[in-house]
Structure 1
Amino acid sequence: MSEPTVVTPAVLRDWALPAAGEGKRARGRVCVVGGTSATPGAVLVAGEASLRAGGGVLALATAATAAPALAVAVPEASVEGVAVDQDGNLAESAAEVLAPWAQGADVVLVGTGFSDPDASAALLRRLAPELAGTVVVDALGSAFLTAHPDGLHHLEGRAVLCVNPTELARTAGVEDDEAEADLAAVAAEVARRCRVVVLCGAAEKHVVTPEGDSWLVQGGGPGLGVSGSGDVQAGIVAGLIARGAEPAQAATWGAYLHARAGERLAAEVGVVGYLARELPAQVPQILVELG
């Protein structure tokens, strides 16, 4: 793995995002698959974050019982309700509905709001082979790659894995303290084995490609350690891909935007105490300043 590039505004300006298209179709279609009967809000914040980052068309899929409320809460999106198992997790059989639903998407974000590793892996075992666009796997969606490291190889690198250190450790098959000791190295191994771009970290975020290129994003503050924050970051990454960014670029820009949004809210609200759903609204102005 190469020495990481420390991400600064100058680095990002030299690695400019594709210009936003004039129409919603020109900025891509984002499909978010996530939540459970108890956690549809994760899909809401991820979807909003994708639009705030520049995605054009948004489609959300979650538990059928929660879909009507989600459709009202996010009027900008079309919403699909799918079957759940006895515990409220998206059922493995939902893949039959989700596969054609996701066809034609520029990016599919899956995993946000999932709560059961086994159910997550079962759904993605059925769904992942049917996905042909770029895929962002978030949080417990990583359980699929733990069980099937080659499960996204058919995408030829057009995938991003967004995980916290504990999820990274499980994906790598190592203990938490081993991952914490060298997140960059463990992320590099997962990236190589699974052929995905890995975005992982907290106060320091690491982005690593399957080829070993790496970037380091510093800052953000402790306020980002709050429920829903990772969902927002994954949504930002998905929105950047929808507007034309390559996976490594989207992951690096997404990590930076997420960190800076946290710092802005820390200054306005307090070091801790702001809510994850307040993060997406900070993103457009940060993008303007980096443009």
Structure 2
Amino acid sequence: MADPCIITPGTLRAWPLPAGDARDKRGRGTVLVIGGSRNTPGAVLLAGIAALRAGAGRLQLAVAQTAATALSIAVPEAKVVGLPETPAGGAAALPQALLELVAAADTIAVGPGLDDVEETGKILDTVLHEAAPGTTVVLDAYALGALSLRPQLLEDGRRGVVLTPNRVEAEHLLGRELGADLGAEAAALAARHGAAVCLHGHVADPDGTVWREESGDAGLGTSGSGDVLAGLVAGLLARGARPAQAGCWATYAHAVTGQRLAPRFGRTGFLARELLDEVAYTIATV
């Protein structure tokens, strides 16, 4: 593996994001986030707002039915669809109305806030079957757990997938403990699944190219931070960014926004939702 490329503002300026049609929300893409059990709808909220802050034009959210009304009030910019629930409050099968949204979405993020790996596997299987060939997909949280149990889910040759694992999820996907070289581990995951990978400040493309972001700090290790990252990736994909490009821009924006919050809240005192109010500025000022 070649040495990683360091992600800097110069790196990103040389790899500009697609502008889309700024006059038309459809021209900047539609993001659908599927996740959120009865007890964790906030993960979908964080991912969805992050997608809008990254520049997506339209947002659609799917969450457990009992949380749907509250989420629609909390995120008035989004169309919210309720999902059937398991007895424990987890999201279950996708209703017909949601299948229509899956078929029409530009980017689908699956996983934030889901809490049942078997049900998530069924949801993911349906999404990958019903989504249009050109639809990009972000897999996060329990969707990665489902993929670790059923790696064949991505064997249909679909491109335009980004995985956003934390260290534990990466170990499940690899079936072993992580080594010290996270860039190499990200590259191994990318090659195994034919997908771009964002892993703890490292981004890998299936072609073997690896990038590293060096400004991320301890404050990003907070509840909901990964949901924000997944949403940023989804929003950038919806705008037309390529998978590894979306991963690099999102990883940089996530890390640098944390740096910008640290003087106000300390290195470990800011909340994931506070990233949302700053990240668009970070992207705009690259």
TM range (shorter): over 0.9
| Cα distance between partner residues in 1 of 2:187 and 2:117 | 22
**Can you list the C-alpha shifts for 1:108-127, whole angstroms capped at 9, x where unaligned?**
00101122323322322333
* Matched residue, 1:222: 218
2:153 is paired with a residue whose SS is: coil
| Cα distance between partner residues in 1 of 2:2 and 2:161 | 20
| Cα distance between partner residues in 1 of 2:174 and 2:61 | 29
| Cα distance between partner residues in 2 of 1:137 and 1:99 | 18
| Cα distance between partner residues in 2 of 1:281 and 1:155 | 37
* Matched residue, 1:264: 260
The more displaced of 275-284 and 47-56 is 275-284
| Cα distance between partner residues in 1 of 2:127 and 2:25 | 26
For residues 48-127 of structure 1, the aligned pairs below 5 Å read: 48-91=49-92, 93-94=93-94, 97-127=97-127
CA apart distance, 1:274:
1.1
* Matched residue, 2:26: 25
CA apart distance, 1:180:
4.4
**Unaligned ranges ≥5, structure 1:** none
* 1:140 aligned to which of 139, 142, 150: 142
* Matched residue, 2:156: 154
**Can you list the C-alpha shifts for 1:196-250, whole angstroms capped at 9, x where unaligned?**
111111xxx1111111111101122111111100000110111111111111100
CA apart distance, 1:189:
1.9
| Cα distance between partner residues in 1 of 2:277 and 2:113 | 20
* Matched residue, 2:207: 211
| Cα distance between partner residues in 2 of 1:174 and 1:215 | 23
| Cα distance between partner residues in 2 of 1:223 and 1:186 | 23
CA apart distance, 1:3:
1.8
CA apart distance, 1:185:
2.2
| Cα distance between partner residues in 2 of 1:212 and 1:49 | 28
Asked whether 1:11 is paired with 2:11, we answer yes
The amino acid of 1:121's aligned partner reads G
For residues 212-251 of structure 1, the aligned pairs below 5 Å read: 212-251=208-247
CA apart distance, 1:268:
2.0
Contact 1:95 1:123 in 2 (8 A): no
| Cα distance between partner residues in 2 of 1:24 and 1:122 | 31
Contact 1:42 1:228 in 2 (8 A): yes
| Cα distance between partner residues in 2 of 1:238 and 1:162 | 11
* Matched residue, 2:249: 253
Asked whether 1:285 is paired with 2:281, we answer yes
The amino acid of 1:60's aligned partner reads L
* Matched residue, 1:168: 170
1:39 is paired with a residue whose SS is: coil
Number of aligned positions between the proteins: 283
CA apart distance, 1:170:
0.2
Contact 1:63 1:88 in 2 (8 A): yes
2:66 is paired with a residue whose SS is: coil
TM-score (norm 1): 0.93
CA apart distance, 1:88:
1.4
Cα gap change, 1:155 to 1:89, in 2 (>3 Å): farther
2:202 is paired with a residue whose SS is: strand
CA apart distance, 1:97:
4.8
The amino acid of 1:149's aligned partner reads P
CA apart distance, 1:186:
2.4
- What is the aligned-residue identity percentage? 45
The amino acid of 2:206's aligned partner reads P
The amino acid of 1:159's aligned partner reads V
- Aligned residues: CA RMSD: 1.5
CA apart distance, 1:69:
0.3
**Unaligned ranges ≥5, structure 2:** none
The amino acid of 2:154's aligned partner reads L
CA apart distance, 1:143:
1.6
Contact 1:82 1:97 in 2 (8 A): no
| Cα distance between partner residues in 2 of 1:126 and 1:56 | 25
2:280 is paired with a residue whose SS is: helix
| Cα distance between partner residues in 2 of 1:264 and 1:228 | 18
After TM superposition, the runs of 4+ consecutive aligned structure 1 residues lying more than 4 A away are none
